Structure 1
C-alpha cells in the first residue's frame, strides 16, 4: 500500500499486474509502477474492482478541480482481497484513504498422535 504518485490510467489486457478498471490517464510513474508490479509478481488491486469515478480518486488539487488515483494497494496474494474502497473521511488532507477488504481464513491446528509429536 502506498502513495506512489503514479497514475495507472486505463489498463491494457496484456498487463498481468493490472485488472480491467483503470482511472484517468497514465504517466511515466504509472508505467514504472506497472513494470515494478509485474517484475515482482504483484497485482495492483485498485484496478481489479469496478467502481464509478467518484469512488476511485485518491488525491485532489488544492482548488478541487483535478482528481487522480495515485494511491494503490499491491499484493502478491490477490485472492484474499475481495474489495478495495476509497474512503470519504473528513480530515484536512488532499488524499483519501484506501482500504482493502480481506478474506482471511483461520489456520487449523492439527493434533499429533501420541508418540508422533516432535518436541523442540
Structure 2
C-alpha cells in the first residue's frame, strides 16, 4: 500500500510539473523574409539596419490566461495581452520576460531573447 501511495504522489507531482512548464515564449525578429516564431530565442541578420522589430508571444498554455504582465526588455508592453512587439537595436541582446496570470488564480513565467546583426 505504501509503495502504491508513493507511486501515486510521484505521478501526480510530475503531471503538475508538466503543466506548470507547458507555457513558452516564442519570438521572431521582423525581416523582409517570411519570419517564423522560435521558442526561447530568436535572431536575424537585417542588412544595413540599426533597428528592427522583435515580436514575442506566449504559447502552449494549458489553461485560460487572464492577463500577461510583460517586463525586462518588454516592459513597454505593460499588460498588452499574450503578444508584444518593440524596437530593438543591432548587436544587443533583448530578454523579454512575462508573468502569466491564469483565470484559476495561478501563475507562471516565461522568457525569450531576441537579437539581430546588421551585416557589418
TM over 0.5, yes or no? no
Shorter-chain TM-score category? under 0.3
TM (norm. structure 2) is 0.24
TM (norm. structure 1) is 0.24
The structure whose RCO (Cα within 8 Å, separation 6+) is larger is 2
